[in-house]
Structures are given as C-alpha cells and as structure tokens.
Structure 1
Amino acid sequence: MAVSFNTLDLNLLKVFDAVMEERSVLRASHKLALSQSAVSHSLARLREMLEDDLFVRTAAGMQPTSRAMAMATQVREALRALESAIELPTFNPAISTKLFTLAANDFTTLVLGPPLLNLLGREAPSVDLVIKPVTRIDLAEQLDLGRIDVAIGVFSSPPSRFRTALLFEYDDVLIVGAANKIEQIDKAALEQLSLVVVSFGGEQEGAVEGFISERGLARRSEMYDRAALERAFGNSDMLPRMAICLPHFLALPALIEGSELAAIIPRPLAKAFAGTYAIAIHELPYSTNPLEVRLLWHERVDEDPSHEWLHDILRRATEGLRRAA
C-alpha cells in the first residue's frame, strides 16, 4: 500500500520517535503523557501504513527494524524543525552569535559605544555589531529591506510602519581650545568667533529646518541649532562666521585645539571630548531646543526576542546620558 504524506497523522511520528528513543511503550507513554494503550494503538496504525513491524519486542526492549533505523534520524529532525517553526522564538544573548546592523553617526557612536561594548562583553560576548553611517544611505529603504536592524538619530514624525524609543536628550554648548583664555561667552564675544559646524550634507541635499526627508522619514542633518543661533542675533549683520562646515565630528578636536576656532556641538559629545582633548566647554549665551536621540526600527520585528533584547541593551547603554540630561 502506497503511503501518502497528505493523509499521515503527524502524531504517529511523535509516537514513533518516543518509542525509538525509549525502546519501551510504557516509557514512551509517560514521555508523551498518553496511556500505554494509546501508544500501542498509534504504533499499530503506523505499522499498518508503512507495512513494517518497525519495532520487535525482545527481552532488552523494543528493538527497531532496519526500516525504523533508516527513518529515525529524518523523523526526529523533521519534528524538531516543526517545533521550532511553531513555538515562540527565544533568544539567549549569552550564547548567541547573531550579527546586528545599526546605523548611527559618529557622535552617537562615540558616546554610546563604550558602555554598549561593556554590556556586550558581560552579557553577549559572541554577539557582533556592524555600525553603518546614518548619512549617505536611504535609512527608510534599508530598514524596509531588513538590511539595518535599528537606526539611531534625531527623527521627525516617522511613518507609521516604524517604531521609536527614546535614548537620551541633549542641547548645544560651545567648545574652544583650552589655551584660549575665555572666561565667559556672551553674544558680543560669540559674534567675534569663527565657528566650525557639522552638517551631514543638508545644504547639498535640500534640508528643511535642519532635516532631510527620504521616503517619508525625516532625519536631522544639521548638528547644531541654527534657528536658535539666528534668533539670538535677530537681524544683526554680525552673526558669527561659519568658517568650516564638516560632514562629521571626528576632526573637530584637532581643529579646535591650538587654534582660535570654536564649535557648537552636542553637550554629551563636548564632555567626551573634554576628557581626552585640551578643550574648554562654555554655555551658549542663548537657549537651544533640546533634541531627542531615538531608536528607530521596523514594526515587523516588534515580537522578535532578539530585537527586543537589542533595543533594551541600547537603552541601558544610554542610562548615564539620560541621568546627565
């Protein structure tokens, strides 16, 4: 009799696998939480379908036939594959070798990186990261395609298919070389300075109010509050000179140290620079709007345990930044 997989009761294969492992109908019934007669009946049905005894009762227990031995490994692997497909996925960071891809600028990478690596070393030593630049790529497309797991940045009204969570807030401060003996920065002193500012290509790409929009996702491109600076000076013709516009923060300390240049940058970054470089931090003579650095991910990964863990560890890595705000 030909056996059709379409009419096969998969529970019979579970019984077969249990008897194969236990070599006992009684022990198999305990393992499956079935009665002994139910296991015997299922085994009889499978024997009839396959036209093979499958197991022979001996003094040493139920011994498999050659047909049973031939199919045992494949049956077990198939059952395990079905279980993993149906059961809720799990994630164990301590043993995982998963690779996560993040998108972030050099500012957030610098202030987030050390505490994040510390946490990964303790909790997920074999998890790897790829950090892509948040600029020069279409973030919305990369998130839609699953090529980026999470983006980190300042976003404006993301489309509904994306989810966000707050990491930390920051405002702007002014940094100068420590050799510049400036005791206090007022508007008169500020307008005499030559500034270095950071803009991620906004002027070339048509930024609106400091944001670049791609596929409905607007990300901040100007890394200083230009509007607050212009409001502070009103209609004055004596705005500070924008001497250099950089596409990243990396070169700032080398440009500021030992020069007359100054820069308006995020407060957490200024604190990080001051710990390594000879720079001084000054409060600006006007208020800047606090900006929220947020996580951004696609809605399809909302129930994925590995992504839930990733979002949690990123939030924990920025606890110090939230406390300092």
Structure 2
Amino acid sequence: MQFTWEVGMTATRMDLNLLKVFDAIFEEQNLVAAGKRLSLSQSAVSHALARLRALVGDELFVRTGKGMAPTVRAHAMAPELRDCLNRIDAALGVAPFDPKTSTRRFFLAANDHATVVIVAPLLRKLRRAAPDIELVIRPSTRLDLAEQIDVGRIDVAIGIFAKVPPRLNARLLLSQGEAVVLCKDHPGARRKLTLEDLATYPLVTISVGGQEEGAVDGFILERGLARQSEMLNRHALEGALAGAGLRPRQRVTVPHSLAIPELLQGTDMLAIVPLTLAKALARGGQLRTRPLPYEGGTSSTSAVWHRRNDHEAAHLWLRDMVASVIR
C-alpha cells in the first residue's frame, strides 16, 4: 500500500514507504539485509535512501567496514518514525499478526543466565506456535542497553532492574532467592553449609561491571534504567558474615555464569547464584546445590520494553509468550 503526505507548506510529497526503508536500514545496518526484509533489490533500497537523504538534508547512514552506521540525525529520528509506522499499521489494520505464518524477527536482550532459564524453553515453545519467527539474542550487559531499547533495536530486555524510567514499561516474570553451587566432591556437598564455610572456602562471583563502569550497589544506571551488574546480594552475604565476626574469601569474579561449572570442577570453591541458575548448572551431574546458611532475600526478573510498543500486536504476543514460559 502506498501512502503520501504533504510536507510543510510546500508542494513536496513524500512516499511513506521511504520510512519503512529507513526503519529497515536502521535495524539491519546493511542494505542487502534491509532489501531482503522488504523484498526489494539493493538498488531499490539505495535509491530510496538517496531520496531520503535529499529530503532530510543528512547522510542518515555512513558506510563503514561493518555496514551502514546511523548518523546522529538518524538516531534521533528512529524512535519516533518506528512509533509512527506502528501506529499507522495498527490504525489501518494493514499488518495483522499471525504467529503461525509470521516471519518476523524479534530482538531480545538477555544475559547467559536468562538465556538458559527463559530463552531456551521459549524457543521450544515457539517451534510449535510460531515456526518461522526468528529470535536474535543480544547481551543485556552492554552499556548502551537503554539506548538500544529507545531506538527500537531491542524489543524486550530480560533482567533484574532496580529502576525503570517512565518511558519504558516492565512486567514481572520471576522472583527468586539464591543458592550455593559447589563441586560434587566438595566437603560441603553432602551436608548443610554454615557461615564458617562461606568464610573458609573461596568464592566465585558473577559481575558484568564494577565501580569503574559506574556501578552502585550492584546496579549500573544509564538513561534512567538501572540494570543489575552483580549477580549476588552482597549486602546480605557480608552482613550475615560480619554478624558472626567473619569475612568472605573472594577468589575470582567472572562476567559469564556459564563459566562456573568449569571453574568449580575439582576445587573447593563455592559460587552463590540465583536459584534457577543453580538448578540449571547442577543438571549435568557434576555440581551440587545447597541452601544459603543465611537469609539472602529475593530478586525480581522482569521484561522491559518501550511504551510505544504497549499495544502493538506482535509485541503483546511476544511478551505473553515469555511470561507463559515462566508460568
């Protein structure tokens, strides 16, 4: 369907399909990939981009060794244009969403823990409900996560967030505590662990950012979104040990939770991780899980998205599918 609109007070008319070209190039950052997404040839995409550049008076995308990098003007335009396209499609009913036939690509942000616990079962569910839909998982640990959501390059971010700004929305997926993971041959693998164990045996912890990245109390704040940087309630641990006159023995901090099995294998180290991750790591049979010997509290995993997608049919469906995996 072709659309045109009047621009300003001039006689210039603009084909709104150019905005779909802009949106595709912005998301793919590659002319060939944008063309495939729109069923257009590369020359047609290049011609449309040239028209857009002339109309806007900006290069919009600059060719680099990695593809087409958006300019500052393109970054500023992208969220509003994506919102406009969604609203037009929703208002006219020109883009009904049927998961059984859709070939849409969704972009999720998740760390390796959320990928194992949530995304893996989600994929198994999508295999039946939406066989041609594609998921692209991007790291939720990247420092520009909030910006990626703002400009529409992330549909849904999954993680633990201490603060969500008003322009974003959130849905609680899971509340859970922590557990200790240790090698099956560890001296504490077959008994109840004590606070003395946590002060005696060295600890492996997971952190994707410290004070040097601006983390405060285990969270990094960017553009109003505070995301978890440390996968451990350190205040609870240190407070419990301090009450007994003890201190934890920190041995190694890693950015990836899936490195823990190899690190613990054949050692006397302990790791304190979210309960769902502890259970997932122990499935292989080489690790054991034990309850915390103190009150560790709970953390809440949520799905976060931009409010402009609140009522968009495909987004609603995706968020419901993620929530159904948890249920």
Q: What are the equivalent positions in structure 2 for 1:294-313 lying under 5 Å apart? A: 294-313=302-321
Spell out, residue by residue over 1:10-60, the C-alpha distance to the aligned partner (whole angstroms, 9 max, x if none). Answer: xxxxxxxxxxxxxxxxxxxxxxxxxxxxxxxxxxxxxxxxxxxxxxxxxxx
For 1:176-215, list aligned pairs within 5 A.
176-182=182-188, 183-215=191-223
1:112 to 114, 118, 141: 118
Q: What does residue 275 of structure 2 align with?
A: 267
Q: Corresponding residue for 2:234?
A: 226
Pairing 1:20-31 to 2, within 5 Å after superposition: none
Q: Is the 8 A contact 1:89 1:304 kept in 2?
A: no
Deviation at 1:88, TM superposition (A): 6.5
Secondary structure of the 2:258 match is coil
C-alpha contact (below 8 Å) 1:89/1:305 kept by paired residues: no
**Unpaired segments ≥5 residues, structure 1:** 1-5, 7-81, 320-325
Q: Which residue of 1 aligns with 2:138?
A: 132
* Shift in Å, 1:206: 2.4
Residue pair 1:193, 1:241 contacting (<8 A) in 2 also: yes
Is 1:318 the equivalent of 2:317? Answer: no
* TM-score normalised to structure 2 length: 0.70
Distance 2:245 2:89 in 1: 71
Q: Considering only aligned residues, what root-mean-square deviation do their CA atoms show, in Å?
A: 1.9
Q: 2:127 aligns with which of 106, 121, 125?
A: 121
Counterpart Cα distance in 2 of 1:185 and 1:197: 18
Give the TM-score taking structure 1 as reference length.
0.70
Counterpart of 2:238, as a letter, is: E
SS at match of 1:234: helix
Once the two structures are TM-superposed, the CA of residue 83 in structure 1 deviates from its matched residue by 9.2
Task: State whether residues 257 and 277 of structure 1, in contact with CA within 8 Å, keep that contact through their aligned partners in structure 2.
Answer: no
**Counterparts of 1:1-325 in structure 2 under 5 Å?**
86-87=92-93, 89-182=95-188, 183-234=191-242, 238-319=246-327
Moved more, 204-213 or 230-239: 230-239
1:240-269 CA distance string (max 9 Å, x none): 211000011121001112111110001101
Kept after mapping to 2: 8 A contact 1:115/1:318 = no
**Quick check: 2:196–2:246 contact (8 Å CA) kept in 1?**
no
Deviation at 1:133, TM superposition (A): 0.5
Could you say what secondary structure the match of 2:149 adopts?
helix
Q: Secondary structure at the match of 2:266?
A: coil
SS at match of 2:157: strand
Determine what percentage of the aligned residue pairs are the same residue.
42
Q: Given residue 215 of structure 2, which amino acid in structure 1 is its aligned partner?
A: A
8 Å contact 1:138–1:214 — kept in the other structure?
Answer: yes
Residue identity matched to 1:234: A
Q: Give the Cα–Cα distance (whole angstroms) in 1 for the partners of residues 206 and 326 of structure 2.
A: 23
Runs of 4 or more consecutive aligned structure 1 residues displaced over 4 Å after TM superposition:
82-85
Larger Cα Rg: Structure 1 or Structure 2? 1
Whether contact under 8 Å (1:171, 1:289) holds in the other structure is yes
Shift of 1:192: 0.3
Q: 2:97 is matched by which residue type in structure 1?
A: F
Cα shift at 1:313: 0.4
Question: How many positions carry a matched residue from both structures?
Answer: 239
In the aligned structure 2, how far is the partner of 1:233 from the partner of 1:227?
Answer: 10
